[in-house]
Amino acid sequence: MSVGHVARLMEAAGIPTVVVAVAAFEQPLKKMALARILLTPFLMGRPVGPVGDAETQKQVLRTALGLLESAKQPTTAIFRQP
């Protein structure tokens, strides 16, 4: 959860953030009232996807960057694999 605390400090300093996390952490992260959260269906410790799966990892990062650009209010999004 320290990532959430760092994200809040960065947001307070005017630096926009997106926290990418596995869906298992949804409730604790929502309680932290973070600006932007992207939840993924992957295993703990691998929030951007399986080891060696560069295409999925790129898709997660593109989705996170899109969320950073488009979210006008606090948002929680769920990554869905194509």
Q: Domain extents for the chain?
A: 2-78
Q: Confidence class of residue 72 from pLDDT cuts 50, 70 and 90?
A: confident
In the predicted structure, residue 1 carries a pLDDT above the cut 70: no
d(CA 63, CA 50): 16
Which has the closest alpha carbon to 47: 71, 19, 27?
Answer: 19
Q: What is the pLDDT of residue 81?
A: 84
| Confidence (pLDDT) at 37 | 97
Over residues 9-51, the pLDDT tens digits come to 999 999 999 999 999 999 999 999 999 999 999 999 999 999 9
Contacts of 17 (CB under 8 A, 6+ apart): 7, 10, 11, 34, 35, 36, 68
Tell me the DSSP string of 65-78: HHHHHH-SS-EEEE
Q: 78 is written with which tokens?
A: 């769920």
Q: What is the reported pLDDT for 61?
A: 98
